[in-house]
Chain A
């Protein structure tokens, strides 16, 4: 157990489940520490598509700093690099340039420590479809060192909080609606008590009620679980409601970053646009949300 662990564990309230046993040698520094929850410094990622083609720059020199407890939004059109950035932080892609640190742990040098601190919810709720939510969650929890009894108990608690009744916990995931599957995906991520939660369009495809429930739950997670959250979304109202700061990506580059109010003031003062996030999005990405949705339906590999 490291010296930084004890105050960290003390800090956590009784209502919050302790980190699994294996996580005891990797912890987020205590509150008030100068260490960033997430530091992205000059990160660049290129992909070579096909043979002898010029590499495509998916992320270009992006920098970002999140403090503990932040909910930071990332907005951008499809293909702007939002999901690539999330994958880079998740360790699912290697960095071509730059560095990523999670609570002071370098992603490249200390990959396992970073992995213990993060989890992710992607737009596609990926599960073993024949398995039940409980079986899927149990598998995920064990990978993060949570014992079976604790995982079962917490899985029921979290899924009930998300409106997934106990009757549905034992049925195959494939029998659930898209919205319910997405809630199970969120439960899976929370089960491992991540200090940094990466939410990649978590409410896409949900009905308004489910969307509201998930948004409320995200706020609750930030407050009660002491989590720092990165949220990519196409829902500007959601970004405005949840995010303390917003970064706008366009063609893999950061084109704007500020608080929601700061961004709105910026487009109003500088461009004479109405002070809305919609105007901010259109100003910095050069397209409307309708264009974005159309592209979304056609699919995009880089995004």
Chain B
């Protein structure tokens, strides 16, 4: 029990630290939020311009839920990169905590931060488009798929967080590229059916593809969970596979970094 209490306390340390960082960078946080709101509005206005309520909702769902997934991904993927920038990586790696504890703290904060961030965008968009008819929307479906998608995104984020451990200079850039590729192939603003064949295959490996498809069908068509099993099971499988794989790979990467002396250098 003492060990569990210690690990929980250590997990909380990362939540509290990230909260303090958010608080200290409040100016950038507001700037980032304004940019995200403006981006979501700009994309959604394309639908309004065309005069299609369905397109407007499709774009809104893409903008809002991609924001959530990308925020979660970024916080987790930058777990190591942030410490490299600050030069604190060695101190955190020296601490008597499990890597899973560290990642758990990052994940909890990422999800909380992502939900809050996304809620603000959602409120602004709903206020901006009062003509939207959401009377048939199934919000339960949206919630379930966001939660399911979060777990598989967490796994991918953990794997991406390894890159700054392995590649001191380029690791952070690589995680950004991964995020960009996921944006491209997941049908955030369009149907994946219009993508070239090989990209459609790649889109099936992205959890965002299933999350966005299911959330759209839930909010626009009112589809229930029973109708969306084909979107649900890949997310469940990805969550089960990606999270343990992420933790395992993180451990491997840490050992490699300790063998080659890559914890020291600040990227």
Contacts and interface: CB of A to CB of B under 8 A. Distances in A.
Interface in A260-290: none
Interface string A198-214: 00000000000000000
Interface stretch (A74-82, A119-127, A154-162, A245-253): A119-127
Interface residues of A, number: 38
Contacts of A24: 2
Contact of B2 (A21, A129, A140): A21
A35 B42 CA distance: 68
- A21, A92, A301: most-surrounded residue (chain B CB, <10 A): A92
B94 A131 contact: no
Contacts of B96: 22, 112, 115-116, 143-145
Interface of B: 2-3, 5-6, 9-10, 12-13, 16-17, 20-21, 24-25, 86-88, 90-97, 255, 258-261, 263-265
A188 B86 CA distance: 16
A47 B260 contact: yes
B24 A130 contact: yes
- A135, A139, A144: most-surrounded residue (chain B CB, <10 A): A139
Contacts of A93: 258-259, 261, 263
Contact of A129 (B3, B9, B16, B86): B86
A177 interface: no
B71 to A, nearest CB: 20
**B contacts with A: majority SS:** helix
Given A92-B94, A131-B21, A301-B265, A145 B6 contact: yes
B85 to A, nearest CB: 9
Interface in A56-90: 87, 90
A4 B9 CA distance: 25
Given A92-B264, A142-B9, A127 B86 contact: yes
12 contacts: A21-B5, A87-B261, A87-B264, A92-B93, A92-B263, A124-B87, A126-B87, A126-B91, A130-B21, A142-B10, A143-B10, A301-B265
- B2, B5, B9, B88: most-surrounded residue (chain A CB, <10 A): B9
Contact of A172 (B5, B16, B24): B24
A220 interface: no
Contacts of A135: 17, 20
Contacts of B17: 128, 131, 135, 139
A138 interface: yes
A147 interface: yes
A145 B21 CA distance: 21
B261 A143 contact: no
Contacts of A127: 86-88
Given A115-B96, A145-B6, A131 B20 contact: yes
A8 interface: no
